Structure 1
Amino acid sequence: MNQSGYMAKSPTDDDLEPPAWRRLAKDAYYVLIPIVVVLVFWQMFAKMSGISPVLFPPLENIWNALVHTATEGTLWADLGGTFLRLFKAVAAGSVIGTIIGALMGYFRDWERAFVGPLNFLLAIPGTALFPLTMIWFGLTEMAILSILIYEVSLTVMANTWSGVKSIDVSLIRAARAFGANGASMFWRVLLPSAMPSIISGYRLAFSRAWRIVIIAEMLVSVSAGLGYRLFWAREFFQTEIVYATLLTIGITGLLFERLVLRSAEAMTVNRWGTVRELE
């Protein structure tokens, strides 16, 4: 109670949370510091090791190659091509995996029908199917997209199945008591309750697809893409472009994971208390 005779309002969890800009600055600090340390050691080793710059170029050579590809437009064309393939596959695979995974988690017959094939296919990495897809579709975009959709749909399916299956039975019974069934049960109860697991599945699926699309672009004939640029630079022994492309792949994946996927997870998983945010 304060001096005016009113009860003081106890702070809530939102009041105790640090401002968004401070959390963002803290995340940026912990992300950038290791990168800076690695770059410093890289430059020292490149200058002092005596290794030819053709094999281990210093940072200024890599930076010049990165600026050159950005200036002539190949960098943006490669980024656009890779992300276009990635988003097509992630969108299609996420829809397929979410629907089938939710049905597996809610209906026993669906679970019995799909759990065996799911476990079988999860044991086969997507990269192992490249020879088969190239036989089916040739060296085309469809060979890449089919592998990506395969990997994304299986990952999302497994996470969604686990999330729906772990929903408290009393919650489902209460929803039925209030008349929820069929589509209303699916959209209003199952999906919201399993959303933390589903979001985690999306995040994991994207990270897997990101690695696979780079490999696929090195094997399949495409006109633009980060993997294609790696293969092209290796063919012409342009080491600086190889390192610049690898740097682009790492930074782009890191930024997308931290700014997009991590933010989506924070709005669901951490906020709903399923996973505790580390201090």
Structure 2
Amino acid sequence: MKMLLSLMIGVALVIGIWWLFAAVFNTTASSTLAFPTPLDTFDRLGSYLFEDRSLYGHSLIEHVLASLKRLVIAFSLAAIFGIVLGSVLGYFTRFYAIGMVPVSVFQMIPGLAWLPIAILLFGLGDESAVFIIFAVSSMVVTVGVAGGIRMVPQVMIRAARMMGVGGLRIFFTVLIPQASVSIINALRVGMSSAWRVLIAAEMVVGTGLGIGYSIELTRDLLDYTGSFACIVVICLIGLAVDRLLLASIERSVRHRLGMEEGY
């Protein structure tokens, strides 16, 4: 209940700032286009969801499902890749200094800068969008996981070895539990990066369906209320995944490790 109340207060604060800015802009700016207000935006969103209003040939639900499909595929691959590579780099100190160089190089490349490579490999379409999401979020997860593994005190590893624990058992009985909070945080940051890159990728690679593609169409047609309705959907999905799912998992893990009370 505390988490839900905090979330509602935070959302109300954002809507209040949005409403105030729109009111000031629409009364003082010389622009011929009005800045969409929260009321106009939610009214348009309601027409998309409950009045079967088409969003350029497809329903809003179809656009959302197409985006979520790309996100799930790309981020699942990125999470597996990042956790495995991050664990290896974090555990084997000799590999860390060398292995983190290409990881850092790839992480510095902005999401849309991967576009030429994606088009060369896959052309325009879903595969390019999935590749861009994977390329960005996998590096974020790798860095976070490697850092979390390296934060586990070496004395705990030596103690486990003295008790006869070795090989992969150290990963599952010592390293993973102790680094679990860092791993979850890495997944949260990776998910946020994946969600942002997904929207940007859909706007430029010609997917033909998706929330990012919808924003591109509404912007080109100067339908900014429709664009804001799509942006609200993006924010709601992002909040649901991060605050209601991943944040809850993190609090549960912190409680089990004795880092947080009152869960």
TM-score (norm. length: structure 1): 0.82
Shift of 1:80: 1.1
Q: Measure the CA separation in 2 of the matches of 1:242 and 1:260.
A: 26
Shift of 1:155: 0.9
Shift of 1:266: 1.5
Q: Kindly indicate whether the alpha-carbon contact (under 8 Å) linking 2:184 and 2:250 is maintained by their aligned counterparts in 1.
A: yes
Q: Kindly indicate whether the alpha-carbon contact (under 8 Å) linking 2:25 and 2:35 is maintained by their aligned counterparts in 1.
A: yes
Q: Which residue of 2 aligns with 1:260?
A: 245
Q: Kindly indicate whether the alpha-carbon contact (under 8 Å) linking 2:82 and 2:139 is maintained by their aligned counterparts in 1.
A: yes
Q: Which residue of 1 aligns with 2:87?
A: 102
1:7-46 pair list within 5 angstroms: 21=1, 23-42=2-21, 44-45=23-24
Q: Which residue of 2 aligns with 1:162?
A: 147
Q: Measure the CA separation in 1 of the matches of 2:78 and 2:153.
A: 27
Which residue identity is paired with 1:188? T
Q: SS of the residue aligned with 1:237? A: coil
Q: Which residue of 2 aligns with 1:172?
A: 157
Task: Identify if the C-alpha distance between structure 1 residues 182 and 68 changes in structure 2 by more than 3 Å, giving closer, same or farther.
Answer: same
Q: Which residue of 2 aligns with 1:13?
A: none
Q: Which residue of 2 aligns with 1:84?
A: 69
2:118 is aligned with 1:133: yes
Which residue identity is paired with 2:3? L
Shift of 1:256: 2.4
Q: Kindly indicate whether the alpha-carbon contact (under 8 Å) linking 2:157 and 2:174 is maintained by their aligned counterparts in 1.
A: yes
1:141-220 pair list within 5 angstroms: 141-220=126-205
Shift of 1:42: 4.4
Task: Identify if the C-alpha distance between structure 1 residues 227 and 188 changes in structure 2 by more than 3 Å, giving closer, same or farther.
Answer: same
Q: CA RMSD in A?
A: 2.3
How many residues were matched structurally?
255
Task: Identify if the C-alpha distance between structure 1 residues 88 and 221 changes in structure 2 by more than 3 Å, giving closer, same or farther.
Answer: same
Shift of 1:30: 3.2
Q: Measure the CA separation in 2 of the matches of 1:105 and 1:179.
A: 22
Unaligned runs of 5+ in 1: 1-20
Q: Kindly indicate whether the alpha-carbon contact (under 8 Å) linking 1:217 and 1:225 is maintained by their aligned counterparts in 2.
A: yes
Q: SS of the residue aligned with 2:109? A: coil
Q: Measure the CA separation in 2 of the matches of 1:38 and 1:133.
A: 38
Unaligned runs of 5+ in 2: 53-57
Q: Which residue of 2 aligns with 1:245?
A: 230
Task: Identify if the C-alpha distance between structure 1 residues 46 and 133 changes in structure 2 by more than 3 Å, giving closer, same or farther.
Answer: same
Task: Identify if the C-alpha distance between structure 1 residues 181 and 65 changes in structure 2 by more than 3 Å, giving closer, same or farther.
Answer: same
TM-score (norm. length: structure 2): 0.87
Q: Which residue of 1 aligns with 2:55?
A: none
Q: Which residue of 2 aligns with 1:57?
A: 36
Shift of 1:163: 1.1
Task: Identify if the C-alpha distance between structure 1 residues 273 and 122 changes in structure 2 by more than 3 Å, giving closer, same or farther.
Answer: farther
